[in-house]
Amino acid sequence: MSGIPDITFNVNTGGLGRQPAGEDHISGAIFYTSTLPSGFSSTSRIKQVFSLSQAESLGILATNAGDETQGTGTLVVTNKGANGDIATIKFLEPSGSYVTLATYTKISGDSTNDLVARGINAAINANTLITGYSSTVLSSTVTITYRKGLGVWPNTGTPLAVTYSTGNTIAITINQAVSAGVASKIAVFHYHISEYFRLKPNGNLYVGIYASPSADYAEVTTLRDYANGTIRQMSVFHSFSATTISTEVGRLQTVVNQSKTDKKWISSILFAPEISGTSDLASLGTLVGLSSANVSVIISQDGAAAGYYLWQTTSKSISDVGAKLGALSSGRVNQSWAWVAGFPMSNGVELDTIMFSNGTLYNSVPQSQLDTLSDYAYCFLRKFTGYTGSYNNQPNTCSLFTSDFHYIYSNRVIDKAERVIYSNTIPALSSPIVLNSDGTMTDSTIAYFESLANTALDVMVRDGEISAYSVTIDPAQNVLSTNKIVETVSILPVGVADFIEINIGFTTII
């Protein structure tokens, strides 16, 4: 470098996570539980959050959320054993490895079964700060309270175990699940909000939490109105109960239809159903004939990291609906989330191993069945041979493939075009219309009304959201009788390279 020595500051931008212009990224997420996080109440069920930490400050936590019931098991000492006998109490975690709760060595002072039980109880509690497991003792019975976060995991199988030193005579009877554990639903909500912000760090998310879905999904409308009609995409996570998918899809589409009528466009609802009890993916029926072009059904989830842990501790479908909502809100309205370079879904850990939300690993499903699921219009994650990462299949909606609006991006594009034209045209509503002597509209009148749509759509062309457009108005229409001007707007969309065909072979000359 030349010149006089000096100190130079290079200012990095984007660190504050300021919100992008426009409303295309604004999202909503609806969850269901009867136990509300601390920051919510029965009269305040909706909160707007701009970060995961803000959601956590409202009580949406991964652990200690207050809605989990910790399971218990017991150890009953039936033989005090001999001095020097060693009993090691262990618990098999969802990770597949054992955690040692305590190692008890029989001493001469522990001369009865009850005293041995007291010694085991003391040894377990001495490690509580490390393991999270605690216990109480009554006579010869030690009751172990399993740590937070395990949910239903201890309710089945034999995770609680005791091993003994060689030649011991101490004897302990294990009762695995004296009281059943109940998983935290709020921890699952935290996961999806975390995943949303992982894919959309500067997101804008309205979170609504309700006791249960209403028959007409009125909570979707409530959330929409709370956000003043600015929510463009929304996720609806199941209520931890299996339902008929086609019924729920139809109800959600009815809400979207009404939103369009109300000029509060919701372009896409991502519905994550509870299908943990669906053992065979082949039993999932087709969605293409449901006439629900604004609803998509999500059936994929993580298969080894945080999402899988929740699957193990809830025994319910978790899905990746939070991540998909983040991906959808991070792209332009014309972009397909199946774009490999544009929408990588894994960070190398979460969603790296993938499965379907009934517990079937992706790699165990034959390609023919994957094709069928996609043809049935389900949305899920996929892998590519020789290419790392996890990616989305096409952004299908529950509509016919012949529909102009079978893919989410088509709905987002047309809805945005409607919104911007509507906003530009409102000032002209009930304005005077100057006519020629023959009753036709003057050129200046036509040019004015066309310009209202042109100005809006020019921006979409500039931003690469549409390829081209045309706006035409018939000057001879009878506006005096109808008090109505009819415009025709034709939009040439941006194409999507869903299929790339490459002809390849040898040649004797280039």
Indicate the pLDDT class of residue 1, thresholds 50, 70 and 90. very low
* Domain encompassing residue 299: 26-64+186-392
Collect all residues with Cβ–Cβ distance below 8 Å to 5 and sequence separation of at least 6.
none
At residue 3, the pLDDT reads 59
CA gap 429, 270 in Å, rounded: 35
Indicate the pLDDT class of residue 5, thresholds 50, 70 and 90. low
2 pLDDT higher than 80:
no
Q: Are residues 158 and 298 in the same domain?
A: no
496 pLDDT higher than 80:
yes
Residue identified by tokens 């040894």 is 123
Helix (H) or strand (E) holding 160: strand 160-164
Share of the chain above pLDDT 70, in %: 96
Number of domains in the chain: 3
At 346-356, the pLDDT tens digits run 999 999 999 99
Reduced to 3 states, what is the DSSP secondary structure of residue 193?
Answer: helix
Indicate the pLDDT class of residue 19, thresholds 50, 70 and 90. very low
Which comes out higher in pLDDT, residue 53 or 64? 53
The answer to whether the beta carbons of residues 405 and 414 sit under 8 Å apart is yes
At residue 117, the pLDDT reads 98
Give the domain CATH number at 77: 2.60.40
14 pLDDT higher than 50:
no
Q: Are residues 43 and 114 in the same domain?
A: no
At residue 13, the pLDDT reads 42
Any domain includes 18: no
Q: Are residues 145 and 38 in the same domain?
A: no
Q: Are residues 231 and 263 in the same domain?
A: yes
Q: Are residues 333 and 383 in the same domain?
A: yes
CA gap 458, 221 in Å, rounded: 31
Any domain includes 326: yes
DSSP secondary structure letters along 386-441:
TEEEEEE---B-BS-TTSTTSBHHHHHHHHHHHHHHHHHHGGGTT----B-TTSPB
Closest CA to 260 of 216, 224, 215, 217: 224
Q: What is the mean pLDDT of residues 96-109?
A: 97
Q: Are residues 215 and 235 in the same domain?
A: yes
Q: Are residues 468 and 488 in the same domain?
A: yes
Which residues are paired to 90 by β-bridges? 100, 161
Q: Which tokens go with 347? A: 């960070």
395 pLDDT higher than 70:
yes
CA gap 202, 208 in Å, rounded: 19
CA gap 433, 484 in Å, rounded: 10
Q: Are residues 246 and 192 in the same domain?
A: yes
273 pLDDT higher than 80:
yes
The answer to whether the beta carbons of residues 111 and 101 sit under 8 Å apart is no
Indicate the pLDDT class of residue 99, thresholds 50, 70 and 90. very high
At residue 4, the pLDDT reads 62
At 403-450, the pLDDT tens digits run 999 999 999 999 999 999 999 999 999 999 999 999 999 999 999 999
Q: What is the mean pLDDT of residues 83-107?
A: 97
Q: Are residues 443 and 382 in the same domain?
A: no
CA gap 325, 299 in Å, rounded: 14
Q: Are residues 171 and 194 in the same domain?
A: no
Indicate the pLDDT class of residue 504, thresholds 50, 70 and 90. confident
> In angstroms, what CA-CA distances link 486 with 425, 431, 450, 479?
13, 14, 11, 9
At 229-243, the pLDDT tens digits run 999 999 999 999 999
Closest CA to 204 of 17, 467, 368, 421: 17
Q: Which tokens go with 350? A: 């979460």
The answer to whether the beta carbons of residues 342 and 331 sit under 8 Å apart is yes
Compute the half-sphere exposure of residue 329: CA atoms within 13 Å on the CB side of its CA: 37
Helix (H) or strand (E) holding 453: helix 443-462
Any domain includes 403: no
Closest CA to 397 of 250, 498, 500, 255: 250
Share of the chain above pLDDT 90, in %: 91
339 pLDDT higher than 70:
yes
Q: What is the mean pLDDT of the chain?
A: 94
Any domain includes 211: yes
Let me know how long the chain is: 510
